[in-house]
């Protein structure tokens, strides 16, 4: 194999490029990125960067050591097509990159709210998004956040820090209920109210209104909420449309891969937020839209591409963290609604605790608030649940 094209110039892309070199690949590595900048870190975009506590330089994902990787960067150009059997990548400009192997690492984009073309309506995925949102937050006024998931909650938290009046609207009766279960979601929900956020739950947003600039958010049932800026935190969509006609199996959930990042095309692998992959820990296919997966999955994908063993002996539990209102939330494992949950360290009232989720008596997931050390201790005790579902065919 002489040339490998890595498509996507963010966390999964640079991690794949590093892993290819670590595995001894000494051919040409071309990294194609639609954004016109070197890889940068996204988690601070809703936290320190949005708050003005970190600058652009603090976001850099590449270091001086990466110069030694000898990568060919093609930035500011999106891949527009992949030839059947993955032999070449065609860029939006028409330029073609002929490759012996391809890593798909095109991530995801924020799901827009219908009508988001009105000025003052934001989503948050890129550095440019964060710069535009910060400008509106610094102008003060009233921010409405649509969706109380992790991005929505973090933006609400940072906006409160900046002195902005915040309303969060969530269509589910309990924010994060699907991820954490009702007991623990209730603790996270209380953080909003304790920090002066007006939280409206069980109500869908039906539209946005304003002449030129957003002024009002309309809710089901006819209520309205005044707004000077709006952020839609309503999920992400994998960037996979460019693979149409390539023969690579994918759907709205992402590119289908096995645990080693292999797609159905031998010389094409995928990693990061664009994938819908078999997770050996959970025993099912998942789209893990989390930083740690985008850091680790590329190593397995690179090994697969180079014909090396890619599956770790012990399955790794999915992991993510979130920072909201000064609280550090951490979750690892795989939770199902019928799992038993118990507090194993600390207490809910102190907001310093670790909770364990058990299935058939085994610890399958763990969630912590403000207990990073104890979280690590319990995370090490996780037991992978028995594979529950058939693999993708």
Compute, in degrees rounded to 10, the torsion defined by CA atoms 33, 39, 44, 49: -90
Size of the residue set binding ligand FAD (CB under 6 A) = 36
Residue 158 makes contact with ligand FAD by CB under 6 A: no
Cβ-based burial of 166 (10 A; exposed 0-12, middle 13-18, buried ≥19) = buried
Among 7, 159, 166, 310, which residue sits at the site for ligand FAD (rule: CB under 6 A)? 7
Looking at residues 266 to 295 of the shown chain, list those that interact with ligand FAD (rule: CB under 6 A).
272-273, 289-292, 294
Dihedral-angle region of residue 257 (phi above 0 means left; psi in -120 to 50 means alpha; beta otherwise) = beta
Residue closer to ligand FAD (CB basis): 11 or 199: 11
Among 25, 242, 256, 375, which residue sits at the site for ligand FAD (rule: CB under 6 A)? 242
**Binding segment toward ligand FAD, per CB under 6 A, in 42-50, 53-61, 196-204, 224-232:** 42-50
Residue 45 makes contact with ligand FAD by CB under 6 A: yes
Length of the chain (residues): 393
> Torsions phi, psi of 85, nearest 5?
70, 10
The answer to whether 234 touches 247, Cβ cutoff 8 Å, is no
**Other C-beta atoms within 10 Å of 117: how many?**
8
Residue 8 makes contact with ligand FAD by CB under 6 A: yes
x-marked contacts with ligand FAD along 163-192 as a string, rule CB under 6 A: ------------------------------
DSSP annotation of 60 = B
Residue 34 makes contact with ligand FAD by CB under 6 A: yes
Residue 73 makes contact with ligand FAD by CB under 6 A: no
Both tokens assigned to 174 = 């309990």
Residue 42 makes contact with ligand FAD by CB under 6 A: yes
**Residue 275 parent element (H or E):** strand 275-279
Residue closer to ligand FAD (CB basis): 126 or 167: 126
The answer to whether 83 touches 90, Cβ cutoff 8 Å, is yes
The residues that touch ligand FAD, with contacts defined as CB under 6 A, are 7-13, 32-35, 42-43, 45-46, 78-79, 105-108, 124-125, 151, 239, 242, 272-273, 289-292, 294, 320-322
């Amino acid at each position: 194999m002489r040339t490998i094209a890595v498509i996507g110039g963010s966390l999964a892309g640079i991690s794949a490029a590093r892993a290819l070199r670590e595995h001894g690949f000494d051919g040409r590595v071309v990294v194609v990125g639609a954004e016109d900048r070197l890889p940068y870190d996204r988690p601070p975009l809703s936290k320190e960067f949005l708050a003005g506590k970190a600058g652009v330089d603090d976001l850099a994902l590449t270091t001086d050591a990466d110069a030694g990787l000898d990568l060919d960067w093609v930035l500011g150009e999106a891949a527009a097509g992949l030839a059947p059997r993955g032999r070449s990548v065609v860029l939006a400009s028409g330029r073609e990159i002929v490759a012996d192997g391809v890593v798909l690492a095109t991530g995801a984009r924020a799901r827009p709210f219908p009508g988001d073309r009105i000025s003052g309506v934001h989503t948050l995925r890129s550095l440019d998004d964060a710069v535009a949102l910060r400008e509106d937050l610094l102008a003060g006024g009233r921010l409405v956040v649509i969706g109380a998931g992790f991005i929505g909650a973090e933006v609400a938290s940072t906006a409160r820090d900046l002195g902005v009046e915040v309303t969060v609207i969530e269509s589910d009766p309990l924010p994060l209920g699907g991820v954490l279960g009702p007991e623990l979601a209730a603790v996270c929900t209380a953080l909003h109210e304790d920090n002066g956020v007006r939280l409206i739950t069980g109500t869908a947003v039906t539209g946005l209104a304003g002449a030129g600039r957003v002024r009002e958010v309309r809710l089901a049932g006819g209520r309205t909420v005044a707004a000077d800026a709006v952020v839609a935190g309503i999920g992400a969509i994998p960037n996979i449309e460019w693979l149409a006609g390539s023969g690579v199996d994918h759907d709205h959930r992402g590119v289908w891969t096995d645990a080693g990042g292999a797609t159905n095309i031998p010389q094409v692998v995928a990693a990061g937020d664009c994938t819908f992959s078999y997770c050996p820990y959970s025993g099912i296919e998942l789209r893990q839209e989390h930083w740690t997966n985008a850091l680790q999955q590329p190593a397995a994908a690179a090994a697969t591409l180079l014909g090396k063993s890619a599956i770790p002996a012990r399955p790794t539990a999915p992991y993510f963290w979130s920072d909201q209102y000064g609280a550090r939330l951490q979750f690892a494992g795989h939770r199902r609604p019928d799992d038993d949950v118990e507090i194993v360290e600390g207490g809910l009232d102190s907001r310093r605790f670790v909770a364990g989720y058990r299935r058939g008596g085994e610890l399958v997931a763990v969630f912590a608030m403000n207990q990073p050390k104890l979280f690590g201790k319990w995370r090490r005790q996780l037991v992978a649940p028995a594979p529950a579902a058939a693999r993708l065919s």
